[in-house]
Amino acid sequence: MVGNHNFVRLDTSHLPSPCHVIDLVRLEDNLKLLKRVADESGAEVLLALKAFSCFAVAELISKYLAGTAASGLYEARLGKTRFGGQMHAYVPGLRDEDVDELLTHADHLILNSLGQWHRFRGRLEARPGKSFGLRVNPGHNEVENPLYDPCAPWSRLGAPASGLKAEDLEGLSGIHIHMLCDHDYDAFDRMLDAVETNCGHLFGSIDWINLGGGLLVTEDNFPANKLICRLQEFRSRTGLHVILEPGTAVALHAGALVSEVLDRSTNVGAFAIMDTSATCHMPDVIEAPFTPDVLGAQTLPRETEPRPDIPDIVRLGGPTCLAGDIIGTYRFKNPPKVGDRLVFLDLAYYTMVKATTFNGTHLPALALWDSATDTLDVVRTFSYKDFESRLS
Ligand SMILES: Cc1ncc(COP(=O)(O)O)c(C=O)c1O
């Protein structure tokens, strides 16, 4: 995603490599916009921890957002203990042994099915002051890639709205819907229409509706005022309390991954081996797939053929033994040399949370960068201990 960011001003020479760099200025700009949406629309905005859980910036985030949304027990604990504020948990596969601890952290718990609700209801209702909801699939699709479409036919995420009656929600106070992935306002607008059409029969039985994440509120030129008006109008007509839980939008254009060129060579086309890996540090690059942008280079389609006649076209890959550990193919004005640092843009959300040490590969360090004052603070580095401690 190319957008406004400050990384052209980043001096990478003082950083360890590889290293995630979070730009505090852009992060705070994103948070200010999300808070404006919350304040002016009356909706509650949470951070979806699955996308971005970096608690080195928890204090900044909790200044602007009402709390966090978790997808598992440990995220719920991290949200409550490191970020504070309201903690909303939705765990598709709820383990019997996790329920009690989950309720010590979560203020709101969303069940994935009515079966889950009936199985755990007694234990849940024994905890005063908690609110419970049901994940509902409205049966409307906006996402093309099935990997990211929670509303596809046969989706295991949420109870199909068409099979639900208002009385099924007895004892529950809300519903949770998540349908978007990196979408713009128009998709949100269509989503809310579909939610009203397909889930409107449930509104009389609930107090709140969580509309999930996937909306790029902080993308350049996003029509925030339209979103605010739509939410205000929806709230006043339905009387429902509205919750949004963006992940990507919180850290959009605020994070980068700095990486060094370890080797250059040629096999039909030119390639470089980096000290960061697609499979270890950016698995969505392979799963989605997508190609992250590199500062100062043109991103070429993933299917680009090797070109022995064009040395400016370089394929970048990771240091692991996986043949498919390919980050992408790029056209450079000045092809990088061994020892050069490259900046992969928009690699903070869904990357830090997913990183692994396959092949004994280093985990990227983490630095906070104030792009206004050019102050860098390396807050975390990793070592052999982090690799070893998970293996026995
Ligand atoms: C239930 C739920 N809420 C929120 C999010 C956050 O979405 P995004 O990071 O795209 O804003 C996701 C992403 O998968 C999700 O599944």
DSSP per residue, 198-222 = HHGGGGGG-SEEE--S-B-TTSTT-
Cα–Cα distances in angstroms (integers) from residue 318 to residues 140, 141, 271, 279, in the given order: 38, 35, 11, 8
pLDDT digits (tens, 9 = 90+) for 341-353: 999 999 999 999 9
Domain assignments of the chain as residue spans, ordered by start: 7-20+255-347+355-388, 42-251
Rounded to the nearest whole angstrom, what is the distance from the C-alpha of residue 392 to the centroid of ligand 1? 32
Q: Are 191 and 222 in contact (CB under 8 A)?
A: no
Q: Which two tokens stand for residue 223?
A: 């029509």
Read off φ and ψ for residue 334, nearest 5 degrees: -120, 100
- Residue spans of the chain under pLDDT 70: 1-2
Please report the atom of ligand 1 found closest to the CA of residue 215.
11
**What ligand 1 atom has the least distance to the C-alpha of 90?**
1
For residue 223, the model assigns a pLDDT of 98
User: 223 C-alpha vs ligand 1 centroid, how far in Å?
Assistant: 20
Cis peptide before 223, with omega less than 30 degrees from 0? no
Report the distance separating Cα 150 and Cα 214, nearest Å: 11
Q: Is 280 in contact with 318 (CB distance < 8 Å)?
A: yes
- What pLDDT is recorded for position 2? 62
Q: Supply 128's token pair.
A: 């005063």
Q: Which atom of ligand 1 is nearest to the CA of 248?
A: 9
Of 134, 245, 353, best ligand 1 pocket probe by most atoms within 8 Å of the beta carbon: 245
Which atom of ligand 1 lies nearest, measured to the CA of 216? 11
- Secondary structure of residue 185 in the 3-state scheme: helix
Task: Report the distance separating Cα 168 and Cα 133, nearest Å.
Answer: 11
* Terminal CA-CA length for the chain: 39
Over the stretch 85-140, which tens digit does the pLDDT of each residue have?
A: 999 999 999 999 999 999 999 999 999 999 999 999 999 999 999 999 999 999 99
Distance 112 CA to ligand 1 centre (A): 15
The residue type found at 217 is V
Q: Which residues pair with 22 in a beta bridge?
A: 255, 368
The pLDDT value recorded for residue 3 is 79
pLDDT at 317: 98
Taking the centre of ligand 1 as the mean of its atom positions, its distance from the CA of residue 384, in whole angstroms, is 32
- Nearest atom of ligand 1 to the alpha carbon of 250: 11
Ligand 1, atom 12, lies closest to the CA of 213
Query: Mapping DSSP to helix (H, G, I), strand (E, B) and coil, where does residue 328 land?
Result: strand
Distance (Å) from CA 387 to ligand 1 centroid: 28
Q: What is the pLDDT of residues 299-351, one digit of tens each?
A: 999 999 989 999 999 999 999 999 999 999 999 999 999 999 999 999 999 99
Pocket of ligand 1 (CB under 6 A): 48, 50-51, 69, 90, 178, 181, 212-214, 245-249
Distance between CA atoms of 211 and 286, rounded to whole angstroms? 28
Fold of domain 42-251? TIM Barrel (3.20.20)
The topology (CATH level 3) of 7-20+255-347+355-388 is Lyase, Ornithine Decarboxylase; Chain A, domain 1 (2.40.37)
Question: Residues marked as binding?
Answer: 284
Buried b (16+ CB within 10 A) or exposed e, 82-121: bbebbbbbbbbebeeebbeebbebbbbbbbbbbebbeebb
Indicate the top mutation candidate among 178, 222, 244 to test ligand 1's pocket, ranked by most ligand atoms within 8 A of CB: 178
Would you say the CATH fold of 42-251 matches that of 7-20+255-347+355-388?
no
- Centre of ligand 1 to C-alpha 321, Å, is 32
Which residue's CA is the closest to the ligand 1 atom numbered 10? 214
Tokens 């027990």 belong to which residue?
73
Q: Name which of 180, 113, 89 is nearest 141 in CA terms.
A: 180
Question: 212 alpha carbon to ligand 1 midpoint, in Å?
Answer: 6
In angstroms, the CA 105 to CA 328 distance is 40
